[in-house]
Chains A and B, each alone.
Chain A
Amino acid sequence: MIKIPALTKCYAPFFITFISFLGIAMTSLPTASVAKNISARATHFSLQNGMDVVVISDHRAPVVTHMVWYRVGAADETPGKSGIAHFLEHLLFKGTKEIPSGEFSKIISRNGGQDNAFTGQDMTAYFQRVSKDRLPLVMKMEADRMVNLRLTENDVVTERKVILEERRSRVDNDPSSILSEQMFAALYVSHPYGIPVIGWEDDMKKLNLQDALGFYKHYYAPNNAILVVAGDVNVDEVRKLAEETYGKNAPNNKLAKQNRPPEPKPQAARRVVLKDPRAGQATVQRFYLAPSYLTAEPGEAEALDLLMKIVGSGTTSRIYKKMVVKEKKATSAGGWYSGSGRDSGRIGVYAVAAGETPIEDAEKLLDQVLQDVAANGVTQKELDRARNAYLAEYIYGLDSQSRLARRYGSALVTGGTIQDVEEWPEKLKKVVLGDLQRVAKKYLVEKRSVTGILLPIPKEAADQAPASSSAKKS
């Protein structure tokens, strides 16, 4: 809807947006739940070979969501091979000894199922949605491609063209995506979160069969994976099927914890400016380095979630009220906190300048809101409202088995636990006003930030081929 135009989706590369979205879902919580047909809590166990299994029962409809999450993502790529995690995700749909090339999704489809996959900085996940009687089939197929992938040179050459087209669609065709990509690169001086999940174009063009197989053989193994099944199933059924399928795959005993370069202490604010005739309106956005749930001091991440809901989420937020409603210097504005990363989180704020408003004015106002929050904190009423909103969001989340599957999967894949997900409400309740001000002061600090400015510039006549005005019949 029009409150926040689609543009806001571009403030982080797609993958990251998606994951931060999961982060929000993950942070929702079970209260003393009223839900009768859905288990409010997930069951967790491990197979002999080290594979984790999570089961979430929801017996309302005879369907299941089956997901396998690998604890490997773009941040684990070796230098110069950016994009290989995502490229491999595509290639997993090719074939195995059992499944002829290109048939995986077709078999799922013939069985009335839907499938897809996604890649982030910290994880790669594959999923199918099927009627419950097809669960054994998809478990067999997914377990098969965990260890038996077969690739040809031709598969790799053709699919590489596809990911390059995907990059053009997601990034190169859209100036705000290009800017976001540059901002991430500037935000992370050393840590690989600065490299886009889809990869840099020049790296992508060189990715080859050996790169893909090397990555696959090292990281795809049951002891590096989490199975999540949500829907019309019970724990014993899933345990039995998992032992018969995934349980037969040998673990990779050479699997080592990935060594990612740490991010040095931030020393100076950075600025990235992109002038582009394709920019619709002048836009300012800013990222701050912040901890994630896994790296924060106890209580900090919860406080950041609440803080940024108050500061930047929706039309009742501080930023929107100040910039859009009161001062009318922006047509849309807001902010967010992304705390789901394994090694780091981020705070983001943005504003789209209204009419001819100079972007400097919009940026100043944005700064005023943030400084005010750091200096004076927020009100108890705002804190209560934000907390209640998260509690409600949890209950809404119960309506969707897919959402529940993602909530638990995204937590576990970065090293979180079932308890982290389920104890979140209690932790949220412990946050007090002072905590919000403290994290605001600690993290909304200039030197932790990257500011990105997107400026429309006039289309130069020379650059423009004459635009057609009418359609001609051939």
Chain B
Amino acid sequence: MRYIRLLHTIQTAISSGFLIAAFVICLSLSPNSAHAMNIQKVKSPGGIEAWLVEEHGVPLIAMRFGFKGGTTQDPKDKTGLAHFVSGMLDEGAGSLKSEEFQERVEDLAVKMSYSAGRDVFTGSFTTLSERRDEAFELLRLALNEPRFDRDAVDRIRGQIIAGLKFDANDPNKVAAKEWFKLAFAGHPYSRAAKGDEDSLKAIASEDLKNYTSRIFAKDNLKISVVGDIDADTLGGLLDKVFGKLPEKSDLISVPEAAPPYGPKRKIIQMKVPQSVAQFGHGGVKRKDKDFVAAYVLNHIIGGGGFASKLMEEVREKRGLAYSVYSYLSPMDYGAAYIGGVATQNNAVGKTLDVIQGVLSHMAQDGPTKDELENSIRYLTGSYALRFDTSSKIASQLLWIQIEDLGSDYIEKRNGLIEAVTMDIIRKVAKRLIKADGLIVTIVGQPENMTESSAPGQPG
């Protein structure tokens, strides 16, 4: 593979809001084609709302849904609770015990998975249209009547703890975990999403139940559906699956996080031939007036694969790394601008120097006109690529709703990007990038580096 991002967390964490593509744009890409996506706002008889795109070309239905309130809702002494729940929703519900439930899932060939993000708990559900009603019934059971049987709870806890032991030896995971710990000290964002052995052992069935009854409610729910189903049929199924959930969620209030800035550097020793570094500082939130410009700027710096400055300077010119990247991480109660790189132990200092140089140059001068134009061309031109499968469309529509961008966002999106001028991006670069204020975590055996030296300087 010529290029991968070694940290897979990024793509999802990132720009929930902005990688979102749209269909109206497809028209501009291909003016003569008849492609148009019609988003229907469906309201069920019971009042559940969802965005629907009918697509009868493939006999499947893809649904995505999200409840506001992710891992930030974990009680302080029970971190890892939301993540734990995400592993328990196919472990038995209603009268079906774990094994029976899973066999049913397999018989129906339904795809069901859950994920606990920092601010939102999401579900992904895909079924063949011919198994529609039975599949939605399984989803209803999972969300309304999860069993959390002792045996299954113990089993999944064991799996998570075993996973943590592997994570503890994975330099990428450790660098990311330590970065958030350092950057957001004292805030729920600093906590390990999967918890730790002690916190997991403190979690019992009642805690899991308590989480679902607090979080799975109607007032914090967003739903998108794409596929072989019409609005009326969907309305009935929405009531069936979500209709009995409590009207109101019961969320712990989360404080605003202090913007994270360094310089700070932490070295975590691990006996590996290649060090992994994560670097970054405060970012911009999704609703920030500068978000779009920051998004374009990040694409130029480290979000655009081979077209990015970091890739050019670190990899293409110097061969210092296989992977180097950056991304914006806008969250509900804070924001970060984060990057990562992996390089052999004796090149860490040099590599961080190069990265810091790119950042400081960007802060001072901003990108060139060419860089801005090329970036806009990519971001607007590749928009339709995010809409070529029913599953992808459903995911995009969910994030538009979660970020509350409005259904006309899809039509406006490319225009917003095109409106980013040299003047704007220079100002935003100055505001966003603080090359001297990086928080850096390094995992490995970096040579000639100390925690007390200035970032990027061999110590």
Contact = CB atoms under 8 A, between A and B. Distances in A.
Interface in A160-203: 160-166, 168-169, 172-175
Contacts of A316: 99, 102-103, 106
A173 B319 contact: no
Contacts of B82: none
Query: Of B6, B26, B158, B169, which is in contact with the most chain A CB atoms at under 10 Å from its CB?
Result: B169
Interface stretch (B262-270, B330-338, B359-367): B262-270
A105 B266 contact: no
A169 B269 contact: no
Interface in A226-263: 231-232
Contacts of A354: 158, 162
B270 A36 contact: no
B323 A169 contact: yes
B328 to A, nearest CB: 19
Given A14-B1, A116-B2, A131-B381, A173 B274 contact: yes
Contacts of B270: 278
B47 interface: no
B60 A468 contact: no
Given A61-B384, A109-B378, A315-B102, A474 B60 contact: no
A133 B29 contact: yes
Given A90-B2, A160-B319, A281-B166, A172 B159 contact: no
A473 B263 contact: yes
Interface in A283-300: none
B33 A2 contact: no
A181 B438 CA distance: 37
Most A CB contacts (10 A, CB to CB) among B262, B322, B374, B377 go to B322
A36 to B, nearest CB: 5
A434 interface: no
A181 to B, nearest CB: 14
Chain B: interface size category: 35 or more
Interface stretch (B64-72, B236-244, B300-308, B401-409): B300-308
Given A112-B380, A471-B182, 20 more contacts: A5-B163, A5-B166, A63-B387, A109-B306, A111-B381, A112-B29, A169-B6, A172-B274, A173-B273, A174-B170, A232-B33, A315-B99, A388-B109, A391-B109, A396-B111, A399-B60, A399-B62, A400-B391, A473-B262, A474-B263
Q: Closest 9 CB pairs between A and B?
A: A112-B381, A161-B319, A392-B109, A37-B57, A280-B166, A280-B165, A105-B306, A168-B274, A62-B30
A467 B269 contact: yes
A157 interface: yes
A13 to B, nearest CB: 11
Interface of A: 1-3, 5-7, 14-15, 18, 34-38, 58, 60-63, 89-90, 93, 102, 105-106, 109-114, 116-119, 129-134, 157-166, 168-169, 172-175, 231-232, 277-281, 314-316, 321, 324-325, 328, 331-332, 352, 354-355, 385, 388-389, 391-393, 395-396, 398-401, 459, 463-468, 470-474
B339 interface: no
Contacts of B59: 34-35, 395
Given A109-B374, A467-B269, A162 B128 contact: no
Nearest to B444: A173
A401 B86 CA distance: 30
Contacts of A168: 273-274, 342, 344
B342 A471 contact: no
A320 to B, nearest CB: 9
A157 B384 CA distance: 37
Contacts of A277: 271
Given A165-B320, A354-B158, A278 B377 contact: no
A62 B29 contact: yes
B329 to A, nearest CB: 19
B419 interface: no
Nearest to B4: A116
5 contacts: A106-B307, A112-B378, A131-B26, A474-B451, A474-B452
Nearest to A101: B316
A103 B374 CA distance: 12
A440 to B, nearest CB: 21
Nearest to B84: A2
B265 A116 contact: no
Contacts of B33: 62, 132, 232
Interface in B18-57: 26, 29-30, 33, 35, 55-57
Contacts of B163: 2, 5-6, 331
Contact of B99 (A133, A169, A321): A321
B453 interface: yes
Interface in B136-172: 155-156, 158-163, 165-171
Given A63-B388, A401-B388, A396 B274 contact: no
B382 interface: yes
A388 B35 contact: no
B368 interface: no
B29 A117 contact: no
B268 A468 contact: yes
A110 B378 contact: yes
A321 B100 CA distance: 12
A147 B113 CA distance: 45
B344 A165 contact: yes
Contacts of B383: 112
B381 A113 contact: yes
B27 to A, nearest CB: 9
Contacts of A473: 262-264
B317 interface: yes
B104 to A, nearest CB: 10
B171 A162 contact: no
A398 B60 CA distance: 10
Contacts of A106: 306-307, 374
A119 B126 contact: no
Interface in B230-251: none
A279 B266 CA distance: 23
A396 B391 CA distance: 10
A1 B86 contact: yes
Given A34-B59, A60-B55, A468 B263 contact: no
B208 to A, nearest CB: 14
A114 B383 CA distance: 11
B458 interface: no
Contact of B128 (A37, A175, A325, A392): A392
Given A3-B87, A3-B159, A395-B58, A116 B99 contact: no
Contacts of B166: 5-7, 280-281
Contacts of B1: 14-15, 18, 116-119
B107 interface: yes
B217 to A, nearest CB: 24
Contacts of A472: 264-265, 451-452
A355 B269 CA distance: 25
A468 B451 contact: yes
Interface string B290-324: 00000000000000111100001001111111110
Contacts of A164: 344
Nearest to B228: A34
A58 B268 CA distance: 49
Contacts of A398: 58
B395 interface: no
Nearest to A6: B166
Contact of A280 (B102, B162, B321): B162
B454 interface: yes
B269 A465 contact: yes
Contact of B455 (A102, A278, A474): A474
Contacts of B107: 385, 388
Contacts of B385: 63, 112-114, 129-131
Given A331-B162, A354-B158, A165 B322 contact: yes
Given A1-B113, A399-B389, A158 B344 contact: no
